[in-house]
Amino acid sequence: MGSRLSEETTLKPKPMVAVGGKPILWHIMSRFALFGVKRFVVCLGYKSEVIKDYFSNFSLFNCDVEVSIANKQVRILGENDVDWVITLAETGEKSNTGERLRRVKKYISGDDFFFTYGDGLTNQDLKLTYDFHLLNEKKITLTAVNPPARYGAIETDGSVVTRFMEKSYNPDSLVNGGYFVVNRSVFDEIERYANPSWEFDILPNVASQGDLVAFEHKGFWFAMDTIRDKEYLEGIWQKGNAPWLEKSN
C-alpha cells in the first residue's frame, strides 16, 4: 500500500509509482530482463486492477497510438520489443509476504527462482547472485546491502558544533536488500504457518537451520519508501545514467 508514499498511493499501488514516467515495477523487471529473466509472477493485492490494466494494455502505455474516432479504431504506432511473459496473480489484499508466495506456488516451475519486493532498485549482477546461490546449496540466498545514510552528521566539542559531515556509509552495516534466490523446498517451511510473514517468520526460521546465506552487493541499491526517495531516483533518471538499467556493475 505504500502508506509513506500516500501522496502517490491513494490511487495506485506502490509498485506503480513512476520513476522517469515508468512504474518502479517496470524498472525492476527490466533489470531482470537484462539477465535473461523474462517470465514473471506478480503477486497482486492493493489496487490490483491498476497493475492488471497497465500490463494488459502495455503497448498503449508505452508506444505512440493513433486513434480514429469515426472508425472506432486504435492502432499502435511502432513496435514494442518487450517479450516478457507475466502472470498477474491475485494473492489477497491483507496477505503477508510469505502468504503471497504460497499462493503463487502453482505458477512457479523449476527448483530455484528469484523473489523480490516491488520498491527496490539495484545494479547487482543477478547471474552472479544466482550462481552464488547454486554453489552454496541453501534454501534461500539473501542480497545483503550497505544502506545509504539518509542524514548527514555533525561533530561536536562539548555542546559546540565543530563540523558538518555529508551522508556516509557504515561499511559494517548490512541490511536485507529485498532480492532473493529461493529453492522451492522453502514452500515446506511456508506451509507451517498461517498467513506467514517472509521477514518475520520464514527468514528467521530458515536462518536458524543454517539454510540462509547472504550475497553481499556493494554497488547501487536504493529502496523507494517516501516522496523524497522518489525524487532522489527521479534525479538519477534525469541525468541519463540509471545504474539499475546498465548491465555492467
Provide the residue-wise pLDDT of the chain in tens; the chain has 249 residues.
Answer: 777 777 778 889 999 999 999 999 999 999 999 999 999 999 999 999 999 999 999 998 888 989 999 998 888 887 778 999 999 999 999 999 999 999 999 999 999 999 999 999 999 999 999 999 999 999 999 999 988 766 555 565 665 555 656 655 555 678 899 999 999 999 999 999 999 999 999 999 999 999 999 999 999 999 999 999 999 999 999 999 899 999 865
- What cell was used for 63? 508506444
Q: Which domains, ranges and CATH numbers included, belong to the chain?
A: 13-238 (3.90.550.10)
Element (H, E) at 222: strand 221-223
DSSP helix/strand/coil, 22: strand
Question: In sequence order, which ranges of 4-140 are alpha helices (DSSP H)?
Answer: 6-9, 24-34, 48-56, 58-62, 97-103, 126-136
pTM for this prediction = 0.89
Torsion of CA 198, 215, 33, 100, to 10 degrees: 0
- Residue 135's contacts (CB-CB under 8 Å, 6 or more residues apart) are none
